[in-house]
Amino acid sequence: MIDLHTHCFFSDGELVPAEHLRRVEVLGYEAIAITDHADSSNMDFIIPRIAQAAQDLNPHSATRLLAGIELTHVPPGLIAELAGKARALGAQVVVAHGETVVEPVLPGTNRASLEADIDVLAHPGMISEDDVRLAAEKGIFLELSGRKGHSLTNGHVASLALKYGARLAVNADAHGPGDFLTSQMAETVARGAGLSQQQYQKIRRDMAEFVQGL
């Protein structure tokens, strides 16, 4: 199991990184990214602290902690700049908060995110075919979300990703202990979006390959 989109108490999550990591270690995770919500006001606070936690904790854990960030409700015109800043601060995983149908995300966020240096477009809602093509070209993961509300459009995202060859990631968007996906539930998220077991296994391989490259 790998999850590239979770939150600790540096934004709106509940756990310190050490407990966050321990809880998924018990679930058998290979790696997990903490990607707390950020814009220009707090990015320089969050990323170095997650990176420090990863440096301290990884030698003591079977699960690898990755330092990440989620650019959240950032105006489209600022996304590329902040993605670059996140990399400079040490973010290994850059997630962009996509145009979910349950929040008032600015139109154009999906496109601007995909044009920037990101790794995952989270809960991209009713993403357009042109944007899925761009995600496929750039190798950016489109998220199938395990989180209530955001998951409403998983089927739409999955079907277009299959059509155009875009990579998919199954993520919990976990904010607390009860949100982490078990291996069985992660597969259920994928199968519920219309994917076969073989297609879900490809998702797992693609996510593992990404982490191995970090």
Which ranges in 90-153 belong to alpha helices (H)? 109-115, 129-138
Distance CA 153, CA 193 (A): 8
Percent of the chain with pLDDT over 90: 100
Report the relative pairing of strands 2-6 and 31-34 from DSSP bridges: parallel
Sorting pLDDT into bands at 50, 70 and 90, what band is 10? very high
Note the pLDDT of residue 114.
98
Residues 171, 145 contacting (CB under 8 angstroms): yes
Residues 4, 169 contacting (CB under 8 angstroms): yes
Residue 172's nearest CA partner among 196, 148, 201, 140 is 148
User: What SS3 state is found at 169?
Assistant: strand
Task: Enter the tokens of residue 190.
Answer: 């994928």
Note the pLDDT of residue 7.
98
Find residue 189's DSSP bridge partners. Answer: none
Task: Enter the tokens of residue 68.
Answer: 């990440």
CATH number 1.10.3720.10 is the correct assignment for the domain at 2-212: no
Residue-wise pLDDT tens digits, 106-129:
999 999 999 999 999 999 999 999
Task: Enter the tokens of residue 133.
Answer: 């093509």
Residues in the chain: 214
User: What SS3 state is found at 60?
Assistant: helix
Note the pLDDT of residue 170.
98
Sorting pLDDT into bands at 50, 70 and 90, what band is 144? very high
User: What SS3 state is found at 70?
Assistant: strand
How many Cα atoms sit within 13 Å of 17 on the Cβ side? 27
Q: What share of the chain is helix, strand, coil (3-state, %, to 5)?
A: 50, 15, 35
Q: In angstroms, what is the C-alpha Rg of the chain?
A: 16
Percent of the chain with pLDDT over 70: 100
Q: Where exactly are the structural domains of the chain?
A: 2-212
